């Protein structure tokens, strides 16, 4: 009873302050709702951080998020799109339908304690080097605050929280898009841990990944090499042709590969060999053209070495499609919330962490600043949010959950994701998402503008086709990693 009284007082004070500032009704409510539950969300984020579960193996992490949302009054559909750890949590009815994305997978080999020096918790173990423990909980916190506001106001509208597994190379969202789970949604909001605070619209690299498997004929490499046909020769011939092709592709192209299987012994002609390729380009159509040229390299290699070849597509994602109307709305709310403030202990942690960088670190004050809005942004990486952005208007933001200068997929990021710097950034992100949700529920005109922007950017006669084709989710791609 005492906690309820305190919450009502907080919400009442927030409503009064909001009215004085002339803010959209509801923004003070959702901020106060999130703040009142901060310790619950911090504990949940820390728990998922400690689980550090890899893609499609996030059973404990997804269960925690589903339980949190179910207890808050959401109906939860689990195992969607053929992925056991994927889910959709829904509340409300009618229009508009606003979606929020939540990730929760970790990365292999990045186990790290929440301290500013290299200290793995488990040698070779996994860790949240991209902050998805914060991503999932922060998004859930925003969805719950929006739900409570809709209920309090008696408003119509629907909130959908998408629990999206295996973002790190597993393309979880692609399967959800392909299954039509976003077909009724009018806008999608998301965020990502970062070392800066920004909500400018950005694009990124489309990506496609696959394994080329060559099969030859084993033989004694000294006594009967003429009988054998080397699968490794096929792999190396393909690699040679692919490396020559680099001169004749658009300069923005990125091509990476590893030989994942090269034989079992040097005195045995390799019967089986594999090479894994990743190709990236800012434009999905151009990427597809380059990929087909790579397949021709593999086919030519197989022909020349008298081996056989099969290619298995592992994953693929479109480039992000920016949406200016949604991004400007999100930027305004980010500026209202502001950056991440450091306590004395946070500052001491950050200063010690920056000493581990092999490069000049930016000022710690950057964490408190919001970067100015700009269009035409681009980052040279890939995300399966890209596919979502091509079927529904989408906007996202980055929040300084990491010490300025920290790079993603590093032990330094893992350390920040498990302590107060990361947690405070997560709460800021939740507030921005929820406030943007209030705007969308109360300003339907923005949704219409966002839809027009989407249709203009993707062009006439666009028809979504997943880059990974009709393959099923690779539920075991992280097993043994």
Tell me: the pLDDT tens digits for 406-460? 999 999 999 999 999 999 999 999 999 999 999 999 999 999 999 999 999 999 8
- Give long-range contacts, CB 8 A cutoff, 24+ apart: 46-49: 46/133, 46/418, 46/423, 48/104, 48/128, 48/132, 48/133, 48/136, 48/137, 49/114, 49/128, 49/133, 49/417, 49/418
Whole-Å CA distances, 456 to 178, 393, 452, 464 = 22, 11, 6, 15
Contact 144, 41 (CB under 8 A): no
Residue 468 has pLDDT above 60, yes or no: yes
pTM of the model: 0.92
How high is the pLDDT of residue 25? 78
Neighbour count for residue 304 (Cβ, 10 Å): 13
Provide the angle, in degrees to the nearest 10, between the axes of the packed helices 38-51 and 132-153.
150
- The 10 Å CB-count burial string (b at 16+, else e) for 171-180 is bbbbbbbbee
Q: Which helix (H) or strand (E) holds 76?
A: strand 75-78
The angle subtended at Cα 229 by Cα 223 and Cα 233, nearest 5°, is 110
Quote the pLDDT of residue 480.
65
Domains in the chain: ranges and CATH:
2-203+320-458 (3.40.630.10), 206-315 (3.30.70.360)
If we measure between CA atoms, which residue out of 377, 368, 380, 381 comes closest to residue 395? 377
| Strand 272-281 with 254-261, pairing | antiparallel
Give tens-digit pLDDT for 249-306. Answer: 999 999 999 999 999 999 999 999 999 999 999 999 999 999 999 999 999 999 999 9
Structure-block tokens of residue 54: 């890899």
pLDDT for the residue 24: 75
Cβ neighbours of residue 350 closer than 8 Å, sequence gap 6 or more: 116, 342, 364, 367, 403, 404, 421
What pLDDT does residue 3 have? 47
Per-residue pLDDT of 9-66, as tens digits, reads 445 555 544 444 556 779 999 999 999 999 999 999 999 999 999 999 999 999 999 9
Residues 78-136: tens digit of each pLDDT: 999 999 999 999 999 999 999 999 999 999 999 999 999 999 999 999 999 999 999 99
Longest dimension (CA), the chain: 89
């Amino acid at each position: 009873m005492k906690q309820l009284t305190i919450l009502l007082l907080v919400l009442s004070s927030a409503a009064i302050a909001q009215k004085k500032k002339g803010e959209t009704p509801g923004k003070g409510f959702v901020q106060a709702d999130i703040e009142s539950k901060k310790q619950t969300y911090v504990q949940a984020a820390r728990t998922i951080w400690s689980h550090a579960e890899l893609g499609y193996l996030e059973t404990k992490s997804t269960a925690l998020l589903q339980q949190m949302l179910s207890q808050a009054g959401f109906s939860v559909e689990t195992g969607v799109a053929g992925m056991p750890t994927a889910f959709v949590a829904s509340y409300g009815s009618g229009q508009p339908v606003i979606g929020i994305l939540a990730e929760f997978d970790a990365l292999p080999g990045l186990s790290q304690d929440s301290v500013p020096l290299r200290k793995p918790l488990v040698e070779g173990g996994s860790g949240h080097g991209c902050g998805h423990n914060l991503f999932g909980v922060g998004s859930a916190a925003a969805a719950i605050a929006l739900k409570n506001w809709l209920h309090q106001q008696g408003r119509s509208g629907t909130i959908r929280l998408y629990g999206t597994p295996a973002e790190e190379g597993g393309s979880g969202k692609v399967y959800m898009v392909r299954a039509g789970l976003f077909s009724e949604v009018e806008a999608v909001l998301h965020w990502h841990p970062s070392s800066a605070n920004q909500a400018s619209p950005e694009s990124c690299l489309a990506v496609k990944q696959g394994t080329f498997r060559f099969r030859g004929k084993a033989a004694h490499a000294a006594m009967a090499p003429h009988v054998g046909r080397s699968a490794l020769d096929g792999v190396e011939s393909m690699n040679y042709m692919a490396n020559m092709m680099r001169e004749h592709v658009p300069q923005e192209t990125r091509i990476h590969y590893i030989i994942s299987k090269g034989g079992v012994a040097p005195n045995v002609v390799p019967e089986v060999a594999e090479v894994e390729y990743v190709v990236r380009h800012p434009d999905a159509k151009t990427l597809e053209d380059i990929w087909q040229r790579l397949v021709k390299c593999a086919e030519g290699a197989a022909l020349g070495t008298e081996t056989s070849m099969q290619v298995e597509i592992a994953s693929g994602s479109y480039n992000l499609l920016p949406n200016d109307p949604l991004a400007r709305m999100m930027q305004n709310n980010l500026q209202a919330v502001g950056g991440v403030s450091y306590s004395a202990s946070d500052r001491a942690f950050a200063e010690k962490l920056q000493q581990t960088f092999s490069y000049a670190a930016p000022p710690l004050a950057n964490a408190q600043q919001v970067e100015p809005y700009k269009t035409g942004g681009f980052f040279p990486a890939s995300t399966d949010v890209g596919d979502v952005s091509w079927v529904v208007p989408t906007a996202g933001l980055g929040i300084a959950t990491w010490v300025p200068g920290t790079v993603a997929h590093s032990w330094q990021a893992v350390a920040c994701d498990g302590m107060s710097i990361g947690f405070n950034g997560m709460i800021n992100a939740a507030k921005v998402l929820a406030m943007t949700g209030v705007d969308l529920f109360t300003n339907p005109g923005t949704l219409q503008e966002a839809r027009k922007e989407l249709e203009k950017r993707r062009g006439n006669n666009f028809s979504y086709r997943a880059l990974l084709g009709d393959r099923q989710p690779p539920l075991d791609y992280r097993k043994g990693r």
